Amino acid sequence: MTTRTAHKIILVGAPGAGKGTVAKGLVDRFGLTHLSTGDMLRAAVAAGSQVGLLAKTFMDRGALVPDDVMVKLISERVQQPDCRNTDGSPRFLLDGFPRTLPQADALAAEGLAPDLVLFIDVPNESVVRRLSGRRTCPACGNVHHVEFAPPLKDGVCDRCGGTLVHRSDDHDATIRKRLDAFAAQTAPLVQRYGTVIEKVDGNQPPEIVLKAAVAVLRRHGNAGEGTL
Ligand code: AMP
């Protein structure tokens, strides 16, 4: 049982493990700011910025964007007021960062080593099935799945009516490459964060995974709203 409240929280998991879905459920309940590097990069790509143009060349082939680019992106973002408690101490939920040991080192060097790491564990076969059927709405961020959560009207987002897309990196060959990158570069973080890591079985329905994650945050001192 921990006594200090964990406010520097990191989500680790293979692509498609459900980090984004869990993050959405947690930020609402616990008032944390959600920092998804994948979302930040996709916004940069859409905006056509220099970072976006560079990142796209890596993302499209399932490779990780270079550490120096990612570290700069996150270092600037965590300085913003919405990532601070009223006493100035850090408060964030990082989703997709760090993804390599050097990224973890950079975070620690800024005094931002996590006090809780949620590892969402999902076998590779489930990831492939989830990602290849995933359809996302670029307009509102909603996620459908052709098999598990089909939209009412083919290709149309239930929430906002936007046109659903099959993300360029959610195709089979790229998914395999992203899984390889996870095994080679990100999985070592599980060892690195040994003392603050909590594993959640991500191979269950989303609401069960979220419930388990909520329970972990509560055990780490967070008083969340809602009944889960
Ligand atoms: P995600 O939406 O989190 O699966 O991220 C999509 C893609 O963005 C990844 O496959 C990487 O190419 C890139 N990316 C996101 N976060 C990072 C990171 N921390 N380090 C390097 N590349 C990243």
Mean pLDDT of 11-35: 93
In the set 8, 29, 134, 135, the catalytic residue is: 134
- The β-bridge partners of 117 are 10, 197
| pLDDT-derived band at 223, boundaries 50, 70, 90 | confident
pLDDT, tens digit (0-9, with 9 covering 90-100), for 76-122: 999 999 999 999 999 999 999 999 999 999 999 999 999 999 999 99
Question: CB–CB of 77/83 below 8 Å?
Answer: yes
Q: Rounded to 10 degrees, what is the CA torsion of 216, 218, 221, 226?
A: 150
Which residues line the pocket of ligand 1, CB cutoff 6 A? 15, 37-38, 41, 58-59, 63-65, 70, 96-97, 99, 103, 169, 178
Cα R_g (the chain), whole angstroms: 17
How many Å lie between the centroid of ligand 1 and the Cα of residue 226? 31
Active site residue 178: yes
Per-residue pLDDT at 28: 85
Q: Confirm whether 8 is a catalytic residue.
A: no
> What pLDDT is attached to residue 193?
96
Which atom of ligand 1 lies at the shortest distance from residue 62's CA? 10
User: What is the CA(142)–ligand 1 centre distance, in A?
Assistant: 18
Give me the percent of the chain exceeding a pLDDT of 90. 89
SS (H, E, C) 49-71: CHHHHHHHHHHCCCCCCCHHHHH
Structure tokens of 108?
């620690």
Check residue 1 and give its pLDDT: 45
Contact 124, 17 (CB under 8 A): no
**Could you give the domains of the chain?**
8-122+186-219 (3.40.50.300)
Whether 210 and 228 have beta carbons less than 8 Å apart is answered as yes
The label of the residue with tokens 């492939």 reads 128
226 pLDDT band (50/70/90 cuts)? low
Are 90 and 78 in contact, with CB atoms under 8 Å apart? Answer: yes
Tell me phi and psi for residue 193, to 5 degrees: -95, 20
Specify the residue with its C-alpha closest to ligand 1, atom 12: 59
Catalytic residue of the set 84, 129, 159, 167: 167
- Is the previous residue joined to 98 through a cis bond, with omega within 30 degrees of 0? yes
Exposed / middle / buried, residue 59 (Cβ in 10 Å: 0-12, 13-18, 19+): buried
Tokens of 215: 């329970």
